[in-house]
């Protein structure tokens, strides 16, 4: 509880100097005054020095020093001092224990708090003073040990307002609104009048439990009673209106407040930020600074959430650095995430690397930011580094890393990470289970899949639609269609995810047909699977389940796998009816389907109708034109792609090379081949080298083709060597 008058401190220090000169510092009442002085100015090192200079420090001085540490939020120091004095044999009294209990409550030091309680009982027995009972009730309430708090409360028949408030505060802390209101009624029945602290606790309970109507009713009651309200009580009222999104009444109450503290400003700024009043949040923040208020971590977290562009974020970041020498881990994590959201990964990494002491919260933040931006290798490196530095992954870490490793195709790593979660007794959610089951599907490991399904059942999440879809797909990938159908039926056909999983399983099987033996082909056919997919689709429509993007993508894929053009046209019509014809992913799949079905006019119509196009859109069309040897169309498409600000990739260049190859334009091909490295920054792949080698050797440049295959940074594959051999036979050996 620091004072702010610097002149008083200087006068006190001057008096202290004279006291030392006169040899009076060891006088108990003078030492007591000095400890109180320094503690009130947060000069705890000076207060400790006064205490340490006492030959025989009294229990009064010890209590005052512990109280000073607690009042300045140095709870751990207060606990350490108490322990040290016990070991030194310093006499402990009940008042010292009360100070210690308050410190333990604030520090959430359960074991130390309970030890102090036992010490009190040893000193006085069951009959504790009211102030002692109050401190214990409050402490156990803060720990969430409400049975213990109520037991101590009931040990006395008579309770003053402090005891009632301590118990109400504990119930309020844990959202027990009914219990709070019951205690409020009971205290009045016992003739104890509620005060500002009582009403503050009641309003806090209403806010925490989101019982906002009751909170507003108490506001009306307080106004009717004409009760004098301090800033803490008014803040509790303010929080009720802020949480309910009633910005008008929040501002009305805010403007009526004669006294405001940091919590007041934070409540209103948070309300504005959370309800979309971004400009108002920034105006309040600026006004707060002008009035000399120093924002706390909660204030900064709220204003950071209101930042809508990088300039605002950097401004607030600078303000945080100017006002806070040491940053809270939660605040640092928020800065890392927010910079990441504005695609400023370098800034996120710089913030992280400048930290002296990292914790699991900051590690999770930097790993998450990289994962969200597709920087999978960097996220994986950070994850490994985190563990090498001695930090154990928690639920947040695994919820990022399991999806990341699954998307990266590190399927064994997915199962390993899931196993580590089980080993450390960390609970899984639907997302983690789904990606782990997906890993089992792609690995083709039925035993592992069944084990994980067992854990799903143990967790009670087997009826979660996301998990159910993953289980259905897993069984379909194993060829266990009966098991998949069984799970499908258990869900009652009411979830689009489950329908999509069944269809996706059949699409996957159809895609795998090329890998089946002749005997297997006799029992399976793509047409059969396509018919089953459309049976499911029709049944889904009859059940009143509306298809979504994923449904249509699978239907389109099944159409071009089986060259079912009639089905394709019908699906296209349904897509238009569903209003998804402008969806980019669906549009790309439509183009893909029509090009696979050789229906190029339809593909071009879809291509031209899309208002938004990406690299995949252009690559699909460029590949189709290249297959038709339409080099000019490929060139025009490539030029249009650049005009739309899209960057070519390996597939784009391969389409250009293929088109040149089909009509023997080796000079154009070589120009594009060189351009991909110099202008586009794309490293040629094995396929690019093979395509160029095939083109030049086909046109009689056998030595050049041979040299290209010999000097490329890969070993030639069978396709490249076979092509060179064929052209050598035609044009003569090298």
Q: What is the pLDDT of residue 52?
A: 78
Does 539 map to a domain?
yes
Q: Give yes or no for a contact between 533 and 555, defined as CB atoms under 8 angstroms apart.
A: yes
In the structure encoding, which two tokens stand for residue 414, read together? 């997915």
Instruction: Look at residue 653 in the predicted model and tell me its pLDDT.
Output: 76
Q: Is 566 a member of any domain?
A: yes
The string of DSSP letters for 36-54 reads: HHHHHTT-HHHHHHHHHT-
Q: How many CB atoms lie within 10 A of CB 327?
A: 19
Rounded CA-CA distance 134/131 in Å is: 5
Residue 366, token pair as written in the block: 């930097």
Q: Which two tokens stand for residue 698?
A: 């086909």
Cβ neighbours of residue 312 closer than 8 Å, sequence gap 6 or more: 282, 306
In the predicted model, residues of the chain with pLDDT beneath 70 are 1-9, 88, 124-127, 325, 512-527, 563-564, 662-664, 666, 678-679, 693, 695-711, 713-734
CA gap 82, 714 in Å, rounded: 71
Mapped onto helix, strand or coil, the DSSP state of residue 195 is coil
**In total, how many domains does the chain have?**
1
Which alpha helices (H) appear in 324-394, and where do they start and end?
329-341, 345-353, 360-372, 376-388
Sign for the pseudo-dihedral over CA of 42, 43, 45, 50: negative
Classify residue 599: in a domain, yes or no. yes
Phi/psi at 733 (nearest 5 deg)? -70, 160
User: How far apart are alpha carbons 288 and 295 in whole angstroms?
Assistant: 8
Q: How far apart are CA 699 and CA 662, in angstroms?
A: 11
CB 512 within 8 A of CB 479: no
Question: Residue 397 falls within a domain, yes or no?
Answer: no
Q: Judge contact between 682 and 713, C-beta under 8 A.
A: no
In order of 341, 358, 378, the CA distances from 391 in angstroms are 25, 9, 17
How many CB atoms are located within 10 Å of the residue 157 CB? Answer: 6
Query: First and final CA of the chain: distance in angstroms?
Result: 92
Q: By residue range, what is the domain housing residue 543? A: 494-612
Give SS3 for 132.
helix
Asked whether residue 27 is domain-assigned, the answer is no
CA distance 673 to 575: 39
Q: Is 696 exposed, middle or buried (0-12, 13-18, 19+ CB in 10 A)?
A: buried
Q: Read off the tokens for 263.
A: 């919590």
- Per-residue CA distances from 681 to 268, 634, 649, 655, 710 (Å): 50, 20, 9, 17, 23
pLDDT at 696: 65
For residues 369 and 396, what is the distance between their CA atoms, to the nearest angstrom? 13
Residue 376 within a domain: no
Alpha helices in 424-480 (DSSP H): 430-443, 446-459, 465-477
Measured CA to CA, the distance from residue 690 to residue 709 in angstroms comes to: 7
Number of residues that make up the chain: 734
- The answer for residues whose C-beta is within 8 angstroms of residue 554's C-beta and 6 or more apart is 500, 503, 504, 507, 533
Residue 318 lies in a domain: no
Long-range contacts of 573-581 (CB under 8 A, 24+ apart): 574/547, 578/546, 578/547, 578/552, 580/549, 580/552, 581/609
Residue 206 domain-assigned (yes or no): no
Distance CA 635, CA 625 (A): 10
Taking the C-alpha atoms of residue 310 and residue 405, their distance in angstroms, rounded to an integer, is 30
Residue 444 three-state SS = coil
Burial 266-293 (b: 16+ CB within 10 A, else e): bbbbbbbbbeebbebbbebbeebeeeeb
Three-state DSSP class for residue 629: coil
E strands, 283-349, where? none
pTM of the model: 0.71
Residues 403, 414 contacting (CB under 8 angstroms): no
CA 715 to centroid of chain Cα atoms = 44
Choose among 256, 225, 211, 226: nearest CA to 238. Answer: 256
pLDDT at 158: 84
Picking from 130, 73, 129, 133, the residue whose alpha carbon sits closest to that of residue 103 is 73
Most distant CA pair in the chain, distance: 114
474 and 449 Cβ atoms separated by less than 8 Å: yes
For 249, the token pair is: 């009444």
In the Cβ-directed half-sphere of 343, how many Cα atoms lie within 13 Å? 2
Q: Judge contact between 356 and 340, C-beta under 8 A.
A: no
pLDDT of residue 523: 41
| Count of Cβ atoms closer than 10 Å to residue 261 Cβ | 13
- In eight-state DSSP terms, residue 454 is H
């Amino acid at each position: 509880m620091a004072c702010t008058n610097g002149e008083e401190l200087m006068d006190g220090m001057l008096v202290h100097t004279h006291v030392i000169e006169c040899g009076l510092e060891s006088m108990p009442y003078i030492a007591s005054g000095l400890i109180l002085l320094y503690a009130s100015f947060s000069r705890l090192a000076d207060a400790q020095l006064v205490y340490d200079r006492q030959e025989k420090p009294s229990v009064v001085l010890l209590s005052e020093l512990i109280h000073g540490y607690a009042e300045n939020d140095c709870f751990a120091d207060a606990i350490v001092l108490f322990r040290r004095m016990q070991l030194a044999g310093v006499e402990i009294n009940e008042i010292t224990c009360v100070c210690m209990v308050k410190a333990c409550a604030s520090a959430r030091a359960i074991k130390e708090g309970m030890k102090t309680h036992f010490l009190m009982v040893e000193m006085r027995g069951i009959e504790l003073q009211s102030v002692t009972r109050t401190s214990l009730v409050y402490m156990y309430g803060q720990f969430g040990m409400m049975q213990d708090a109520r037991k101590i409360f009931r040990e006395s028949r008579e309770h003053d307002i402090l005891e009632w408030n301590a118990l109400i505060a504990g119930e309020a802390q844990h959202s027990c609104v009914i219990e709070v209101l019951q205690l409020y009624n009971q205290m009045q029945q016992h003739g104890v009048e509620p005060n500002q602290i009582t009403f503050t606790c009641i309003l806090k309970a209403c806010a925490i439990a989101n019982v906002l109507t009751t909170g507003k009713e108490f506001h009306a009651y307080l106004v009717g009673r004409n009760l004098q309200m301090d800033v803490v009580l008014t803040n509790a009222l303010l929080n009720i209106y802020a949480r309910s999104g009633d910005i008008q009444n929040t501002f009305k109450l805010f403007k009526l407040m004669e006294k405001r503290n940091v919590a007041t400003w934070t409540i209103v700024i948070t309300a504005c930020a959370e309800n979309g009043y971004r400009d108002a949040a920034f105006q309040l923040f600026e006004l707060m600074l002008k009035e000399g208020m120093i924002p706390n971590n909660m204030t900064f977290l709220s204003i950071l959430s209101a930042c809508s562009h990088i300039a605002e974020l950097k401004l607030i970041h600078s303000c945080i650095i100017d006002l806070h020498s040491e940053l809270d881990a939660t605040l640092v994590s928020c800065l890392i995430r927010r910079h990441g959201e504005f695609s400023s990964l370098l800034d996120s990494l710089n913030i992280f690397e400048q930290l002296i002491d990292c914790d699991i919260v900051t590690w999770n933040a930097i790993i998450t930011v990289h994962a969200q931006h597709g920087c999978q290798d960097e996220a994986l490196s950070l994850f490994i580094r985190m563990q090498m530095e001695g930090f154990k992954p928690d639920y947040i870490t695994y919820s990022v890393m399991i999806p990341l490793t699954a998307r990266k195709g590190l399927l064994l790593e997915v199962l390993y990470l899931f196993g580590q979660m089980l080993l450390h007794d960390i609970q899984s959610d639907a997302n983690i289970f789904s990606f782990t089951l997906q890993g089992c599907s792609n690995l083709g490991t039925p035993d592992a899949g069944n084990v994980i399904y067992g854990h799903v059942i143990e967790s009670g999440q087997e009826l979660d639609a996301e998990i159910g879809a993953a289980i259905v797909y897993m069984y379909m990938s194993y060829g266990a269609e009966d098991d998949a159908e069984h799970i499908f039926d258990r869900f009652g056909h009411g979830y689009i995810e489950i329908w999509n999983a069944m269809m996706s399983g059949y699409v996957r099987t159809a895609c795998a047909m090329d890998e089946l033996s002749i005997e297997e082909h006799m029992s399976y056919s793509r047409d059969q699977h396509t018919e089953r997919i459309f049976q499911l689709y029709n049944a889904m429509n009859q059940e009143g389940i509306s298809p979504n993007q994923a449904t249509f993508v699978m239907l389109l894929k099944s159409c071009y796998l089986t060259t079912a053009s009639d089905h394709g046209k019908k699906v296209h019509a349904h897509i238009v009816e569903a209003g998804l014809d402008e969806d980019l992913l669906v549009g790309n799949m439509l183009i893909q389907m029509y090009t696979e079905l050789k229906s190029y006019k339809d593909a071009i119509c879809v291509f031209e109708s899309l208002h938004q196009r990406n690299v995949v859109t252009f690559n699909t069309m460029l590949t189709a034109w290249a297959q038709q040897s339409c080099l000019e169309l490929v060139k025009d498409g490539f030029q249009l792609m650049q005009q739309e600000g899209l960057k070519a990739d390996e597939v784009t260049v391969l389409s250009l090379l293929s088109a040149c190859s089909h009509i023997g334009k080796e000079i154009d091909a070589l120009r594009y081949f060189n351009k991909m490295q110099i202008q586009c920054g794309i490293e040629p792949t094995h396929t690019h080298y093979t395509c160029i080698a095939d083109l030049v050797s086909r046109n009689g440049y056998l030595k050049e083709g041979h040299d290209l295959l010999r000097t490329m940074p890969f070993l030639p594959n069978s396709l490249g060597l076979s092509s060179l051999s064929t052209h050598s036979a035609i044009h003569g050996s090298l």
